[in-house]
């Protein structure tokens, strides 16, 4: 028996010899990187070095003076952002962040530890901007900038979803999202970027939204949902577009207009606004809440975001309400007013129904639809029948950006608990400020990245599986359009019996509208509890 070769010897290369991280290179395997940005999209956005290229090529067609560009860019960023300066200098590599990253947890790739992601940039910074690094080199943790480093940056800065979970645990508040943002800023100077970010950004710039849907089609789509709502409860809603003089401009990510299940959330918005008689308008020019500029560079983010205030001013509205979206709200909360404000032409948001003044948005003058709805419910202005969501057993995924850039925790839970009878939270270290990312944020929600997305989404899916097994949860709610696009495949792979919804879809189901016919199905056409027979007859 001893002569038989050991089975494991046939299959495995055992632990590869341990090399220090500076000596390993990423392997561009399918599923772990995103397709590069197309030249035409880079041109629309005025980004440098537009060209056709592939990460699999040896030659990435970088500009001939690319090193200079990076150094100049780095100097520029260091002078513009204190965050970068401080974060480059003070990390003590304590490792508190190391196991907080969903990509590290799911993939085990050590360079997905936030601390090492930071070191990728830090090592170059040390070499060129610190005395110790210049003299001591490697001993001081410094390394030469070369093309391999650029390739590594591309690989790992597009394997970070900028979710900021690590930042919560860092004793110095070092935010890896900020480092990734700077890394992408630098990469964009060389024309190194991904098309899933550039394409939507270019479309948004020219046509108003990520998919490049033209104005008439945008209107058409919303009217299509008007018909669908009418089929559910007989109420005919008449939304308006680009209407001057409306009180409120409503902006939501375009994903809600074109992709299920976001579309049902959009129906929820329409129903809610109709029922309370809100004087609001949609805009086809500012028809995108999302901002893939945040995932490109500062200038692109500002360009795209400028439309919100510009359109609000043109239409003469009093304030803006924003739909359920994650990174959109990071931009609104932390960047918009600073970049494109002050919005003196707007008024402090005041709910026309309850009279509540939203002092927490008194400068930016844009409020989150969930705070708006929570206030309506709190003041008893909505007639709700939560039993219409009884066929759903709901949990809630705190979307990263509203969680860690706003602290938006209790408002959505308040709304959900008022429109649903069955709600369970996931375990404590997976929700609220410690929430796990969907694994596809920051422009990585493209299909060629599916393997990595499944890895990154594993910690989230795993927590959902727990409440699914324990409480029979079958619906995962969230307030992010990227979540609504990417959690369905994530669930399909890891927890197949769980579906995904926006919070306002649940509101749409529960809201009792004046003059509506008896509902037999929810917004998706699924029979309500106790109505299973009725809907069969319908068919």
**Minimum CB distance to other proteins smaller for 66 or for 205:** 205
E strands present in 290-393: 319-322, 366-368
Nearest to 479 by CA among 366, 309, 328, 377: 328
Neighbours of 48 (CB within 10 A): 12
Q: What are the tokens at 355?
A: 């009279």
* CA 81/CA 48 separation, integer angstroms: 22
SS3 of 104-157: the string is: HHHHCCHHHCHHHHHHHHHHHHHHHHCHHHHHHHHHHCCCCCCHHHHHHHHHHH
Q: Which is nearer to other proteins, 66 or 218 (CB)?
A: 218
Helix axes 114-129, 147-157, angle to 10 degrees: 150
Torsion angle of alpha carbons 494, 495, 498, 504, nearest 10°? -40
Query: Cβ 86 to other proteins, closest distance in Å?
Result: 5
Q: How far is CA 380 from the centre of its chain?
A: 32
Q: Are 331 and 487 in contact (CB under 8 A)?
A: no
Q: Which is nearer to other proteins, 58 or 539 (CB)?
A: 539
Nearest-approach distance from CB 150 to other proteins, in angstroms: 22
Q: In terms of CB distance, is 132 or 512 closer to other proteins?
A: 132
Q: Select 203 or 513, whichever has its Cβ closest to other proteins.
A: 203
CB nearer to other proteins: give 103 or 154.
103
Q: Which is nearer to other proteins, 388 or 465 (CB)?
A: 465
Q: Which is nearer to other proteins, 280 or 285 (CB)?
A: 285
Nearer to other proteins, 171 or 234 (CB): 171
Name residues whose C-beta falls within 8 Å of residue 27's C-beta, 6 or more positions apart in sequence: none
Q: Kindly state the smallest distance separating residue 168's Cβ from other proteins, in Å.
A: 5
Judged by beta carbon, residue 92 or residue 512, the one nearer other proteins is 92
Residue with smaller CB distance to other proteins, 275 or 505? 505
Q: Please enumerate in sequence order all residues whose Cβ is within 8 A of that of 294, keeping only pairs 6 or more positions apart, or say none.
A: 162, 181, 301, 327, 330, 331, 335, 442
Residue bearing tokens 């098309």: 195
Distance in Å, CB of 47 to other proteins, minimum: 12
State the minimum distance, in angstroms, from the CB of residue 96 to other proteins: 6
Rounded distance, CA 182 to CA 78, Å?
9
CB nearer to other proteins: give 344 or 518: 344
Per the DSSP assignment, residues forming a β-bridge with 423 are 394
CA distance 255 to 480: 10
Do 66 and 59 touch, CB atoms closer than 8 A?
A: no
Identity of the residue, 126 or 513, whose beta carbon is nearer to other proteins in the bound complex: 126
**Selection from 91, 82, 290, 300 nearest residue 185 by Cα:** 300
Q: Do the Cβ atoms of 394 and 507 come closer than 8 Å? A: no
Residue 476: C-alpha distances to residues 65, 76, 269, 394, 448 (Å) = 49, 43, 19, 6, 24
**Strands across the sheet containing 475-478:** 394-396, 475-478, 499-502
| Among 483, 284, 512, 319, residue whose Cα is nearest residue 398 | 483
What's the closest the beta carbon of residue 241 comes to other proteins, in angstroms?
Answer: 6
Burial of 182: CB neighbours in 10 Å, binned 0-12, 13-18, 19+ = buried
Question: What is the C-alpha separation between 88 and 186, in angstroms, rounded?
Answer: 15
In DSSP terms, which residues pair with 500 in a beta bridge? 476
- Taking CA atoms, 526 is separated from 417, 419, 422, 436, 487, in Å, by 21, 17, 17, 29, 20
Select 151 or 466, whichever has its Cβ closest to other proteins: 466
């Amino acid at each position: 028996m001893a002569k038989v070769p050991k089975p494991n010897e046939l299959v495995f290369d055992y632990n590869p010899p341990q090399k220090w991280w500076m000596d390993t290179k990423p392997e561009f395997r399918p599923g772990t990187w995103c397709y590069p940005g197309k030249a035409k999209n880079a041109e629309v956005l005025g980004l440098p070095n537009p060209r056709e290229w592939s990460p699999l090529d040896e030659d990435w067609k970088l500009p001939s003076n690319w090193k200079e560009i990076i150094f100049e860019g780095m100097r520029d960023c260091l002078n513009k952002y204190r965050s970068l300066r401080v974060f480059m200098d003070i990390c003590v590599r304590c490792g508190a962040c190391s196991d907080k990253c969903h990509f590290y947890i799911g993939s085990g790739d050590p360079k997905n530890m936030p601390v090492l992601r930071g070191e990728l940039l830090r090592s170059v910074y040390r070499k060129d901007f610190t005395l110790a690094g210049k003299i001591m080199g490697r001993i001081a943790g410094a390394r030469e900038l070369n093309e391999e480093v650029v390739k590594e940056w591309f690989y790992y800065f597009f394997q970070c979803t900028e979710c900021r979970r690590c930042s919560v645990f860092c004793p110095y508040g070092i935010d890896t999202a900020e480092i990734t943002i700077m890394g992408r800023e630098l990469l964009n100077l060389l024309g190194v970027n991904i098309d899933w970010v550039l394409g939507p950004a270019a479309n948004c710039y020219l046509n108003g939204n990520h998919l490049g849907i033209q104005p008439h089609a945008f209107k058409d789509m919303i009217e299509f949902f008007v018909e669908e709502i009418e089929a559910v409860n007989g109420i005919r809603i008449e939304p308006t577009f680009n209407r001057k003089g409306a009180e409120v401009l409503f902006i939501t990510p375009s994903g809600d207009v074109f992709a299920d299940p976001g579309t049902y959330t959009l129906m929820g918005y329409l129903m809610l606004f109709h029922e309370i008689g809100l004087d609001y308008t949609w805009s086809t020019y500012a028809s995108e809440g999302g901002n893939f500029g945040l995932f490109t560079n500062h200038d692109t983010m500002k360009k795209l975001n400028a439309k919100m205030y510009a359109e609000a001013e043109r239409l003469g509205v009093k304030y803006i309400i924003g739909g359920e979206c994650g990174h959109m709200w990071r931009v609104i909360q932390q960047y918009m007013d600073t970049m494109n404000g002050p919005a003196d032409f707007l008024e402090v948001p005041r709910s026309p129904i309850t009279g509540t003044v939203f002092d927490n948005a008194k400068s930016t003058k844009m409020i989150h639809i969930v705070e708006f709805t929570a206030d309506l419910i709190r003041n008893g202005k909505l007639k709700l029948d939560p039993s219409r969501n009884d066929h759903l057993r709901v949990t809630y995924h705190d979307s990263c950006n509203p969680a860690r850039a706003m602290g938006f925790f209790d408002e959505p839970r308040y709304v959900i608990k008022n429109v649903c009878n069955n709600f369970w939270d996931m375990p404590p270290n997976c929700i609220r400020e410690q929430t796990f990312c969907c694994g596809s944020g920051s422009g990585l929600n493209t299909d060629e990245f599916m393997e990595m997305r499944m890895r990154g989404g594993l910690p989230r899916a795993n927590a959902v599986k727990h409440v699914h097994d324990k409480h029979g949860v079958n619906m995962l709610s969230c307030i992010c359009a990227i979540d609504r696009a990417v959690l369905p495949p994530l669930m399909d792979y890891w927890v197949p019996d769980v579906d995904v919804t926006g919070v306002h879809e649940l509101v749409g189901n529960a809201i009792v509208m004046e003059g509506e016919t008896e509902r037999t199905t929810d917004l998706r056409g699924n029979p309500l509890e106790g109505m299973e027979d009725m809907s069969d007859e319908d068919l």
